Structure 1
Amino acid sequence: MTEKWSQDVTERSDALDLEEGVFTKDDPKEVAKSLKRSAERSERRKADPYASAMSMLTFYINRAGKGLDAKQKRVLEDAKDELRKLFGREPEGN
């Protein structure tokens, strides 16, 4: 159980109701779209949709993602940029 605590958080967190398999998708745009949908639909989140989606993605990468292969970690890192685009949060000059 102790090595699966992060899975428990992603499944039962008050942050978002995630679509099954969101972190195993191989397209960063699809990961970002799924997280955006989940964040916008959630009535349990405590922050705005962008912050909730980004927090869940970052949490997964940092905690549950320790065992990720390099390709999947890159997909999830790229999904951060896609989330920024979807929410209109791109830094100036991009």
Structure 2
Amino acid sequence: MSSPDHKSAQWSDNVTKRSNAMTLERDVFKLDDPAEIAASLKRSAERSRRRKSEPYRSAMSMLTFYINRAGSKLSDERRDILERAKDELRKLYGRELARNAN
């Protein structure tokens, strides 16, 4: 029987395998090009039947989920690539933030 600590440590694995989390392309978060990561997430979100919200929100949620779960294990370089992938995803969905709009 698993201890409560073991179960809580495995929750993220359960989210991706057994929940309504969308199915991702293999090794998407290992790609080095933020635009490729964003395009892959967009494809997955639009094809997936395992999502509860609109494609943009699902794709962004999976990216944020991965960044948060990796935490301090991400190198600065990898974190930067993934953060830039968020910007690329916003561009793909026409949701760019208005910067310096004042």
Task: Give the alignment's TM-score, normalised by structure 2.
Answer: 0.80
Percent sequence identity over matched residues?
63
Which structure 1 residue ranges, 4+ long, deviate > 2 Å from structure 2? 1-13
Q: In structure 1, what is the Cα distance between the partners aligned to 2:46 and 2:13?
A: 21
Q: In structure 1, what is the Cα distance between the partners aligned to 2:42 and 2:92?
A: 8
Counterpart of 1:29 in structure 2 is 35
Residues 30-64 of structure 1 deviation map (CA, whole Å, 9 limit, x = unaligned) = 00000000000001100000000000100110113
Q: Size of the alignment, in residue pairs?
A: 94
Larger radius of gyration: 2
Letter in 2 for 1:9: V
Gaps of 5+ in 2: 1-5
Counterpart of 2:66 in structure 1 is 60
Shift in Å at residue 93 of structure 1? 4.8
User: Which of 17, 20, 44 is the equivalent residue of 1:38?
Assistant: 44
Gaps of 5+ in 1: none
Letter in 1 for 2:79: K
Tell me which moved more, 66-75 or 40-49.
Answer: 66-75
Query: RCO higher in 1 or 2 (8 Å CA, sep ≥ 6)?
Result: 1
Letter in 1 for 2:80: R
